[in-house]
Structure 1
């Protein structure tokens, strides 16, 4: 009996143990199921993995919400902006600012890998050459953008260091990152997946519209479509594509893609703050005061003087001419499709609509305006020359040679039968000879000594135009130069022939036909530059000198000095007509004493005395100014460069725009 009870107890114990095990398993399964349900409430956790966010995935975490009995997914993404490296204020309050400079510390702080290291990290193609990858579609495109920005800084600095190593020894150290005034920076911002729009499946980076335009220019992208009405944006270049469209419940979202090889050598955009203005079609001129370092604070604010000019469209160029003081005819040359506004520099106008063809001339004076007035944006002891094109015209150097133009210019200013041999002209001749001595046969060979020589030559021209000469007379010469050039470009050949036979346009000498810009079309490549300078020195210079001096003297005879950028009603009609006879190139202009009256620097301002000596004639000063402006234009266009495919699509209202945009 006892044995039977003992056996029954053992069986019950076994059954109890089995039941306990089964219950334990069931309980454990239930706990796992409940835990899984709680963890599954952490929506978006899988979308914040390393395959999507790269090294930024370390910031993701689950945070339990006890009152909601669920987990919230939190992560960090970058807020990207552009500023000088010395900036200590960012859009995210109290968050540290990390600049992208390609250094190991920057890579660590920005949680970014260089493109080659990133591919190694993902066990993909291990190669130093950039390849096209189609298997990275799960990766957030802003991660690739940060990687390419780091590569841009490292590769360009390595190339510049190599350029200094190949060139002759120099006592000046090369420019470093700290000398830049334009750099990409970021701050980390905490986000929650709860706030993600339902149609966005990956974490996004945040920036502003103006910063995106600047980053695109720095990476070598050129806008092909920029339609704010339909929210369609597309930029291509240097192996990248940037497309944008509007996403519901979020805003404008851009996607960055890599489709080919990129390089950042001589094509690297000069990292200067003025790039912000160039991206939107503005240029800062040599007349901009140092204290006026701010950009236009409002898109409704228009340039009021020559400190900044808007050149992003043909209409903007027309208004710039009015600001200089040109007459209505000159401004209308840009507004009309039936007139020409070019001579030697190429510049077929770009149209957003592909079905609209341009009837304007294929060569434009817009680049001449930029070269004469734009600030010198080259960084001393730096090899970078590229800039965003602020004009709506293509810059194609196949049609002319700036080097040959400079050589022909030097010949003209050294010829005392053509140019007044003043102290300033002789100084320009020495500078031109110095620049020519650094020119090498290769059209793309820009040595460090050549860049430094061009830089110093431009600075000397700027000092002369700003400090040693009447600014009002400089404006007069500018005005008369563009009025005369555009009048000659649009001159009817039949009228020119008639005028020549009647003796009205015998600038090149008695009885000889006046050279015209149409002669450039039939000239061979070897003769084109020589003919161009012949026209400028034999025809344009005498007329500009005479008309600028006459206008300047007439303005001095009035009690009230009108604004230098307004139309002079007393003489404006005369400039739209065919010019009166000018002196021959070999003849000296009659001395015109500098009047003791004072000059105007703006509407209603007290007139200031001329800065030059009273013994110097107005003709001499006008001659010096014109020769300096032309020389500066040639040096500026040699020192700076624009990409052939880069043109400005009018977006001036976006200068400084803080409209939030996102990078997918």
Structure 2
């Protein structure tokens, strides 16, 4: 019994030991599991803290910077035991497309490797260019917006994508501008076959490789670190320069409303965009770009010419640069090679550079609210048309320019075609008395150009009106179709009555759902495998195509649907280019004389705009000034050539008021208010057709005569003429043969005496013409000089002379004579003595590389020819270019070519 109990006790104790061992094992396993879980949690927490050191990684996602997010990387910094976030952003600038010098370095022409960032990509709107600039096309952007709808209502309710950086929207807008405008140009020029230009220069040929565009937006990639981001900024920013930003804003059709550098307040609006700028702490001047309305880029796109950059800042290059593109520095004083038109003070400086007198300069320098600057349009646009460089690119359709003046351009108030017709009619009337259109003369060629331009302009205007009617009917039909399709869609969505629908069994519908699910799963798995394989090839540099750039097939949006092919428009631009080129070739040989005529024209026009033929008591209501007439006259004449007639002749008075030195002819000045004078208020109150005719009649019969009546200064007394044929030389000799009867033998030295400067210049000019004609006919230089000297010494044959204000007398024959008391004596020298003038002409002809030109004395007819050419060029230039009605220059000339870094948020 005892032994059995002992065995049972022993066996019972062993059972308890096994149970305890098992319990301890379970506890150890649980503790191990808990420890492992705690270790994993600790490791995960450590990794989370480590990866959380990559600050800014989420701010560089696709929602923020689009396709630029593929360059966002984490770089491990072992010494600092953290990650650094690096990303890429664009550096935007404006340059010709053949430029290879970028802000980040020179482009070698070979596509840069990842990280190099020196490759320059010029935006042209092509599909490949979209890929290179890492931007979405309009179709891709619409697809992504549609895909976003319904997935996340919190993000889809916003009308604007405020998560995306504004510089990405700017890049997409620039790409769309290039794409849509080029498509519109191809559409407009499709039926027109341009003539072959054999004289095209190498620069034009090079520009043709880029579509003729020499003002294009370029992009370089710059790698940045989030560690350098200023406090408070949560999105990557792009970089550009102040001058480039102004140029890009103009390219997009946006007009500056405020540009205050002192307070760093900037605002521009137009074409559906809004640009605002301000100072950002720890960064600098930053701008935001937003789309607030509908946008279009067709004929409103500005001319992509590199010279247009100057217009964005209130400057305009002139024809007097003679093709030499000299650097234009902001702080340097400007000469006649540049027009400054941003403010009244800058216009005054421009008039000073052209040697206009003080009275003319004071119209802008001291002008007040009563001073008038426009007839049918402001005179600053007249300055642009007369001497401004042609900005429109030959064989392109874009005509819009940034407005460089502080005046508005409203084409609804006048018609340039009507002005051209009035100018032609006025010249025809003057030709009946003066024989302006002599056979083979330059004015005869201008007359032919006028007929061609008017004909093609009327044809294009009629075609444009017909196109507008057709497009209006087409848009109306499209709206009807859209409404019909919407009603049809609603009926299909609603469907027929439920009673008529065939009912499917439950198991059939279940199998259909399962089949659709399996199909969707296989498609998704296959797409993922393909994407992963292509991504691996891209990372291994085995292919240049990034699969992230590939999008599903989307139907391309038609951007130029509201335009029709119009062959007349390219022909119209072609005729204007040929006419301006002919004018420029004619003016190129006598730039000094052209500047002289231009200055006289501006003096006479501004004097006329501020003239009043009536006394203050019976002055018309439209008169710009209501003050009385004080006694005395304004000050002297600065910057002129030494003649004393001033802007509007002698006998002038000054306006009373804040600007007491504004010149205007007095009402009793009968020489100024002659029978050719047309009161300005008569033009203002005339009908639409008559106002154009009256203004051009005033220009031809009044302004032209007053410009021609001013004595020719010694500085421009020598005229360079293209060598004519023998028939033209004989005609010139017959024209001036009336002076042969007055020839007399006098000593040559007497021509240089003090009294010789007082001989009427009309006789001297006629005599010198005779001498030049004799020299060209084969006579020796000495014989020609003797003939000229004898003719110049004789008294000129003049008719009745009307006393000019200030003592000068003007002959009725159109020539000019100088009174000894009012006009200072011209300095004697090579240009005032006949013998030395002929010798100088022979010497210059012998040493002149241009064998097709001759030197002779300047005549009144030369002055009139240049004036007519400048006026005709002004009308052609304004017809060739256009300005937006709401575009007014806000002074920003001090930031021209400024490389001050600004930032795009």
TM-score (norm 2): 0.63
8 Å CA contact 1:227–1:233 kept in 2: the answer is: yes
- Counterpart in 1 of 2:671? 504
- Counterpart in 2 of 1:481? 601
8 Å CA contact 1:270–1:379 kept in 2: the answer is: yes
> Given the alignment, which residue of 231, 254, 259 partners 2:264?
231
**Counterparts of 1:235 and 1:59, CA distance in 2:** 32
- Counterpart in 2 of 1:20? 32
> Given the alignment, which residue of 429, 434, 453 partners 1:435?
453
Distance 1:578 1:75, change over 3 A: farther
Q: More deviation in 488-497 or 177-186?
A: 488-497
8 Å CA contact 1:175–1:381 kept in 2: the answer is: no
Deviations 1:222-259 (A, max 9, x none): 00011111100000000000000000100000000001
8 Å CA contact 2:130–2:136 kept in 1: the answer is: yes
Q: More deviation in 325-334 or 515-524?
A: 515-524
Task: Say whether residues 1:647 and 2:661 are aligned partners.
Answer: no
Distance 1:203 1:615, change over 3 A: closer
- Counterpart in 1 of 2:135? 112
- Counterpart in 1 of 2:320? 287
**Counterparts of 2:683 and 2:808, CA distance in 1:** 23
Which residues in structure 2 correspond to 1:536-547 (within 5 Å)? 536-547=699-710
> Given the alignment, which residue of 333, 340, 356 partners 2:371?
340
Deviations 1:337-384 (A, max 9, x none): 1553424243xxxxxxxxxxxxxxxxx210000111111111111000
Distance 1:332 1:181, change over 3 A: same
Distance 1:313 1:534, change over 3 A: same
> Given the alignment, which residue of 86, 97, 108 partners 1:85?
97
Q: 2:320 is paired with a residue of what secondary structure?
A: coil
Distance 1:485 1:171, change over 3 A: closer
Q: 1:518 is paired with a residue of what secondary structure?
A: helix
The answer to which structure has the higher helix fraction is 2
Q: More deviation in 410-419 or 203-212?
A: 410-419
8 Å CA contact 2:313–2:896 kept in 1: the answer is: yes
Q: 1:74 is paired with a residue of what secondary structure?
A: strand
- Counterpart in 2 of 1:379? 393
- Counterpart in 2 of 1:466? 588
- Counterpart in 1 of 2:360? 330
- Counterpart in 1 of 2:346? 316
8 Å CA contact 2:809–2:817 kept in 1: the answer is: no
> Given the alignment, which residue of 567, 571, 583 partners 1:449?
571
- Counterpart in 1 of 2:406? 392
Distance 1:458 1:542, change over 3 A: same
Distance 1:386 1:58, change over 3 A: same
Distance 1:191 1:501, change over 3 A: closer
Shift of 1:616: 7.1
> Given the alignment, which residue of 142, 148, 152 partners 2:177?
152
- Counterpart in 1 of 2:120? 97
Shift of 1:519: 2.1
Shift of 1:302: 1.7
**Counterparts of 1:636 and 1:558, CA distance in 2:** 44
Q: 1:526 is paired with a residue of what secondary structure?
A: helix
**Counterparts of 1:72 and 1:418, CA distance in 2:** 86
- Counterpart in 2 of 1:412? 426
Distance 1:52 1:541, change over 3 A: same
> Given the alignment, which residue of 131, 141, 144 partners 2:166?
141
Shift of 1:421: 2.5
Distance 1:577 1:408, change over 3 A: same
**Counterparts of 1:210 and 1:558, CA distance in 2:** 55
Q: More deviation in 443-452 or 21-30?
A: 443-452
8 Å CA contact 2:167–2:237 kept in 1: the answer is: yes
Q: 2:167 is paired with a residue of what secondary structure?
A: helix
Task: Say whether residues 1:306 and 2:336 are aligned partners.
Answer: yes
- Counterpart in 1 of 2:871? 630
**Counterparts of 1:613 and 1:579, CA distance in 2:** 35
Shift of 1:405: 0.6
Task: Say whether residues 1:207 and 2:232 are aligned partners.
Answer: no
8 Å CA contact 1:234–1:244 kept in 2: the answer is: yes
**Counterparts of 1:613 and 1:528, CA distance in 2:** 41
Shift of 1:502: 7.2
Tell me which structure has the larger Cα radius of gyration. Answer: 2
Q: 2:23 is paired with a residue of what secondary structure?
A: helix
**Counterparts of 1:264 and 1:214, CA distance in 2:** 16
- Counterpart in 2 of 1:243? 276
Distance 1:554 1:376, change over 3 A: closer
> Given the alignment, which residue of 240, 250, 257 partners 1:217?
250
Distance 1:382 1:9, change over 3 A: same
**Counterparts of 1:384 and 1:579, CA distance in 2:** 52
Q: Which runs of 5+ in 2 are unaligned?
A: 1-10, 107-117, 150-156, 198-206, 465-567, 620-664, 720-750, 754-803, 819-827, 833-839, 846-851
TM-score (norm 1): 0.85
Q: 1:494 is paired with a residue of what secondary structure?
A: coil
Q: Which runs of 5+ in 1 are unaligned?
A: 127-131, 347-363, 560-575, 600-606
**Counterparts of 2:711 and 2:414, CA distance in 1:** 29
8 Å CA contact 2:613–2:666 kept in 1: the answer is: no
8 Å CA contact 1:506–1:581 kept in 2: the answer is: no
**Counterparts of 2:433 and 2:385, CA distance in 1:** 24
Shift of 1:398: 1.6
Distance 1:499 1:51, change over 3 A: closer
**Counterparts of 1:312 and 1:143, CA distance in 2:** 32
8 Å CA contact 1:205–1:662 kept in 2: the answer is: yes
Which residues in structure 2 correspond to 1:49-198 (within 5 Å)? 49-93=61-105, 95-123=118-146, 134-165=159-190, 167-171=191-195, 177-198=210-231
**Counterparts of 1:629 and 1:367, CA distance in 2:** 13
Shift of 1:310: 1.3
Shift of 1:149: 0.3
8 Å CA contact 2:717–2:831 kept in 1: the answer is: no
What is the total number of aligned residue pairs between the two structures?
605
8 Å CA contact 2:614–2:667 kept in 1: the answer is: no
**Counterparts of 1:372 and 1:285, CA distance in 2:** 9
> Given the alignment, which residue of 696, 699, 702 partners 1:533?
696
Shift of 1:275: 1.6
Shift of 1:618: 1.2
Deviations 1:33-59 (A, max 9, x none): 111111111111111111110111111
Q: 1:447 is paired with a residue of what secondary structure?
A: helix
**Counterparts of 1:365 and 1:463, CA distance in 2:** 24
8 Å CA contact 1:223–1:235 kept in 2: the answer is: yes
Deviations 1:171-219 (A, max 9, x none): 5699663421100011100101111011111100000000000000000
Shift of 1:550: 5.5
Tell me how large the CA RMSD over aligned residues is.
3.1
**Counterparts of 2:60 and 2:695, CA distance in 1:** 62
Q: 1:229 is paired with a residue of what secondary structure?
A: coil
**Counterparts of 1:162 and 1:323, CA distance in 2:** 44
Task: Say whether residues 1:618 and 2:869 are aligned partners.
Answer: no
Distance 1:418 1:209, change over 3 A: farther
